[in-house]
Structure 1
Amino acid sequence: MTITVGVFDAKTRLSELLDKVSAGDEVIITKRGRAIARLVPMDDGGRSVEAALAALLEVRGRSLPGPESIRDLIDEGRRW
């Protein structure tokens, strides 16, 4: 459910509005009749981003060439 409130009402009812948002509602805050902000529930996207970064770091650690491989790459580059 979407609730629309003016900025003054949002200030005076902030705690109540946050309870509604945590229950899954969306709150649109208006100023002089124009929407200026939207309060929506937080998702667990932050956790998945952290997991993705950890996975990338793990793959990166496995795919870095060792000292011998780096020397081969440098030598190969000098040939051209």
Structure 2
Amino acid sequence: MRRVQASDAKTHLPQLLSEVERGETIVITRHGRAIARLVPDTDQRQDRLRHIKEQIATFRRSVPALGAEDVLSARHEGHKY
């Protein structure tokens, strides 16, 4: 949890909102005392995570299953020894 002075919050609000959107909680202070807290919207975050999980599941169904040998071979492909 990050603490930011009110004057700095006013100047950097777009950046702070981006941080909150990524899940960070920001405490805004005035004269060293906490006066406000910016927290992520959990409903929106949950919806976004659910959508991302669905995209990952769809992608995983669209690619062939790989064995350990295939993964190791792909990892070493292009390496110069």
Q: TM-score, normalised by structure 1?
A: 0.53
Deviations 1:11-56, CA, capped at 9 Å, x for gaps: 00000000000000000000010000000000218xxxxxxxxxxx
Q: 2:41 is matched with which residue? A: 42
Larger radius of gyration: 1
Q: 2:6 is matched with which residue? A: 7
Q: CA deviation at 1:3?
A: 1.0
Q: How does 1:16-35 map to 2 (within 5 A)?
A: 16-35=15-34
Structure 1, unmatched stretches of 5+, are: 46-80
The one-letter amino acid paired with 2:21 is S
Percent of matched pairs sharing the same residue: 50
Structure 2, unmatched stretches of 5+, are: 45-81
Question: How well do the aligned residues superpose, as a CA RMSD in angstroms?
Answer: 1.3
The one-letter amino acid paired with 2:9 is A
Poorly superposed stretches of 4+, deviation over 2 Å: none
Distance in 1 separating the partners of 2:27 and 2:6: 10
